[in-house]
Amino acid sequence: MEAREEDQSAKMDPPCSPSGCNPPEPPLSKNARKKLLKQQRYEAKKAEKKAQEKEQKKKDIERKRKEWEETLASVTEEERAKLIESRKSLRKERMGKRSEEKEKKIERLNRAKDCGQKIVIDLEFSDLMTPSEIHSLVQQIMYCYAVNGRCPSPGHLWLTGCNGEMETQLQRLPGFDKWIIEREHRSYIDALQDQKENLVYLTADSETVLDDLDLKKIYIIGGLVDRNRWKGITMKKAQEQGIQTAKLPIGSYLKMSSSQVLTVNQVLEILLKYIETRDWKASFFQVVPQRKRCEAECNSDHAVDGEENGDRDDEQETKKTKCDEVSSSNHTTL
């Protein structure tokens, strides 16, 4: 009887094969749990602030509408007609400027396909993330696209390994299907196999410092929001695939605080700023939040880990001597 029950149990719960199961998540350390709790409190506060701002915006719109109606009611018919016509002209002018800016943006992004710096965001880590972490990464990708579109010299962006929940959440973004960006269900290693020798994975675990950007190279930013669970995973992946790695030269210009993490959009923005200025220091100072830095004049061997990201707009905190801070712990690959 026991043997039969064991046999039935084995049929109901077959053993996981290495290829069919995700590796177990490493448990969070005490420090990581503290960071996670702090991040949750911050996100709750941020959501509350966003709701308040939304409500205030509605009130401002209503106030302006009433003021406009009162203005029209206080003037003659002739003056009213002039005011309405003037308002229509201003609105038409604004719409014209927006249309012109949109056309210029499309032109820049299309030109980047031919001569822009190729930058890949690797989305193959979605099976290691929770839906909320995937949502956080999707928001970072949305910001990446917006920043790239505004850039005078945009990069040629790729999203690779775009499948499952990641693809589902991206498809929910307004206008995502119209983005001028390369979308690939395949891994970058398959989609760009004919250019494998030019692939460079950006990770702080690399011993190679990225001194300059090469248009022939294709730089990969790992998309992983993991709450500090999967350290070193991008370096390991690159080594197994036999592709080059490099790290940003942040240590040469900034002394980072204890949380040496950047978001995907911060890494991309640093690359775009460097393309524009050819100045790493200026790029870092314009993008890296003050809360992530110690004394700017100090040199440090620390590098920002591209495989571990934090939220860009965390609360700034006043720090004492050691510049200790608690990061948002949203991790992505550099």
**Measured between alpha carbons, how far is 222 from 170 in angstroms, rounded to an integer?**
16
Q: How many CB atoms lie within 10 A of CB 228?
A: 21
Residues 6+ away with beta carbon under 8 Å from 115: 215
Per-residue CA distances from 317 to 166, 253, 289, 308, 323 (Å): 32, 22, 11, 20, 10
| Active-site pick, 226, 305, 311, 314 | 226
Active site annotation includes 13: no
Shortest CA distance to 117 belongs to which of 30, 199, 217, 39?
217
**Measured between alpha carbons, how far is 127 from 165 in angstroms, rounded to an integer?**
9
Tokens 């701002």: give the residue.
53
DSSP per residue, 26-86: PPPPHHHHHHHHHHHHHHHHHHHHHHHHHHHHHHHHHHHHHHHHHHHHTS-HHHHHHHHHH
- Write the burial class of residue 145 (CB in 10 Å: 0-12 exposed, 13-18 middle, 19+ buried): buried
**Which residues are part of the catalytic machinery?**
226
